[in-house]
Amino acid sequence: MSSSRHPICFNPDAQPLTTSGSESESTDLVSAFHRKLPGYEPTRLVPLDDLAKELGVAAVYYKEESNRMGVPSFKILGASWGTFRALADKLKLPLDCDVATIKDAAKLEPYTLFAATAGNHGRAVARVGSIFGLPVEIFVPAGTHSDTIRFIASEGARVTVVPGSYDDAVRTAGAAAETDSGILIQDTAWPGYEDIPNWIVAGYTTLLAELPAQLPARHAHPTHILVPVGVGSFASSVVLHFKSPSESPLSPPPAIIAVEPDAAACLHASLTAHRPVSVPTASSPSAPPTILAGLNCGTLSSTAWPVLAAGVAAAVTVSDRAAHGACEWLTARGVDAGPCGAAGVAALRRCCGERDARETLGLGAGAVVLVLGTEGRRGYEVPQPDAVAELLGH
């Protein structure tokens, strides 16, 4: 496991409100669709009062995504809406139709869903395929945990291990989907492939739309939001929801803090360079492994980059050891979290523990902090203590 440290990257180009991109769908329309899916209910928002007291802020809340419609991550929100919109486009379905109508229409066309994944997105696409009655093929990078592969396969999908990185798996899935019956359901965009990733981003807004009813009145306006970043699609959804002039439910909008693994900090590198930058990731010969599998992405989505460049206040990286420690801390308090979800807690501790970061980001006594957890517990190799990291307090 890597002990490589990145200094916190503060974004001087961050704007209070951003016009870089826009929410592509009505949040009400997306939420109405999700309410029709089997097992939908809002996930819980957990107050972390002892953490707030320890860090000297007014409040910390954790959005727990350990059971979202029967799968242990938020990803099914984007995968389901992205798949539905792709099918509706091909089958000429109205956007207010029900699941039975989608399944009946899909029987008339032999479509197959394809996706690449580091874990959670692939399982979500596989579950959506089972809901809509469609075959699914998922491609995973070398080194993917055996439990992850088993869980994806348990949803009825065919799983192929690609020798290489997550980016290699994305390219392989894209090539496999280039058939008359193939639909690539990928949560990262590139020039020429943008509609479905944008629909996936829109699907995530259901999670954000649940928050106003869950936050207590005295903390109804979070001042800071910590969001994990892999390819950046979820983070771009958060920025668009909270910082678009036409959409923002909060005034002033919150500071959005991006969280990445030390071993795969492509947003951090891009903000530092002021342009999109790819970085080597686990499964690449020059990169270390990481337990933050869902964030182990070396290239930002092309549509996410301009949104994040204009909208995030900072990019913070965390070590595997810190993410694991946050998992253990949350578990002890009855919160179900995997490393990618718990990474936000680790990042908040780091920000509050560094004087410059605390002052620059305004994490003072009045701060109301929202940590967006993204996954429940899962199998991973527990990182061993690193002498250098321990010495540095990481």
Determine how many CB atoms are found less than 10 A away from the CB of residue 213.
Answer: 8
Quick one: tokens of 133? 């009655």
325-373 pLDDT tens trace: 999 999 999 999 999 999 999 999 999 999 999 999 999 999 999 999 9
Residue 1: pLDDT band (50, 70, 90) is: very low
Statement: residue 391 has pLDDT above 50: no
User: Domain residue spans in the chain?
Assistant: 9-73+205-392, 75-201
User: For the segment 42-51, what is each residue's pLDDT rounded down to a tens digit?
Assistant: 999 999 999 9
Whether 18 shows a pLDDT value over 80: the answer reads: no
CATH numeric code, 75-201: 3.40.50.1100
What dotted CATH number matches 9-73+205-392?
A: 3.40.50.1100
> By C-alpha distance, which of 201, 73, 192, 168 is closest to 127?
73
Residue 315 has pLDDT above 90, yes or no: yes
380 or 343: which leads in pLDDT: 343
**DSSP run (H or E) holding 139:** strand 136-141
pLDDT digits (tens, 9 = 90+) for 183-210: 999 999 999 999 999 999 999 999 999 9
pLDDT at 300: 98
Query: What is the pLDDT at residue 386?
Result: 63
pLDDT of residue 24: 59
**Long-range CB contacts for residues 125-129, cutoff 8 Å, separation at least 24:** 125/79, 125/83, 125/157, 125/185, 126/152, 126/155, 126/156, 126/157, 127/69, 127/70, 127/71, 127/76, 127/79, 127/155, 128/76, 128/79, 128/80, 128/83, 128/185, 129/83, 129/155, 129/156, 129/157
What region, left, alpha or beta, does residue 324 occupy, with left being phi > 0 and alpha being psi -120 to 50 degrees?
alpha
Question: pLDDT at residue 375 above 80?
Answer: yes
pLDDT in tens, 231-277: 999 999 999 999 877 666 667 899 999 999 999 999 999 999 999 99
pTM, rounded to two decimals = 0.93
Judge whether 9-73+205-392 and 75-201 match in fold: yes
